[in-house]
């Protein structure tokens, strides 16, 4: 009887966990809506705010964790396409819930030329509908947002493939700009 009760509790907790992952934590901002504001430290401890990017295109891409295979692949794709982004006047910022020191090691190890923002509490990821929150453990969902020069959401890329995210995002900016 006790074993059945334990199994039932474990099954319920697992079900809640799966439901929370599938459901997500908040809605993605809609295309045309104002981009949620942010002020976050980068890999060097310098704070960046949305208002600094007014007047130019901005790509915010959320990723789960520094130094993991998928996130590394995604970062390398953005690194390799970075010249195309900058040639078109498009800023790129990666965001995860890792700390600035983790971002610094990640950027240095892989030669990442763009800004990595540290959303340690997950508030900005939540504002962008991109937070997976287990309470004691948080991750950002792999989503990307294109923000136009007026500060509005121009494109939303949900659950983006790490190997194709930079190319897909660049195509959407080129189409919108």
Whole-number Å distance between alpha carbons of 90 and 123:
24
Using CA atoms, how far apart are residues 125 and 119, in angstroms rounded to an integer? 7
Residue listed under structure tokens 């340690």: 120
Residue 67 to residue 61: CA distance in whole angstroms: 16
Annotation marks residue 71 as catalytic? yes
**Six token digits for residue 78:** 């953005």
Q: Which two tokens mark 44?
A: 């060097």
List 58, 60, 71, 117, catalytic entry: 71
Active-site amino acid positions? 71
């Amino acid at each position: 009887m006790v074993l059945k009760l334990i199994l039932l509790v474990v099954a319920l907790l697992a079900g809640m966990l799966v439901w929370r992952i599938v459901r997500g934590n908040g809605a993605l901002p809609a295309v045309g809506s104002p981009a949620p504001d942010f002020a976050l430290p980068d890999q060097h401890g310098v704070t960046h705010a949305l208002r600094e990017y007014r007047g130019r295109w901005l790509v915010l891409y959320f990723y789960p964790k520094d130094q993991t295979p998928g996130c590394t692949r995604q970062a390398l794709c953005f690194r390799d396409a970075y010249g195309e982004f900058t040639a078109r006047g498009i800023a790129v910022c990666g965001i995860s819930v890792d700390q600035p020191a983790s971002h610094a090691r990640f950027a240095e190890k892989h030669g990442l030329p763009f800004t990595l923002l540290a959303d340690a509490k997950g508030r900005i990821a939540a504002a962008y509908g991109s937070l997976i929150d287990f309470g004691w453990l948080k991750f950002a969902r792999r989503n990307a947002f294109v923000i136009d020069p007026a500060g509005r959401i121009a494109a939303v890329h949900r659950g983006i493939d790490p190997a194709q995210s930079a190319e897909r995002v660049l195509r959407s900016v080129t189409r919108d700009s």
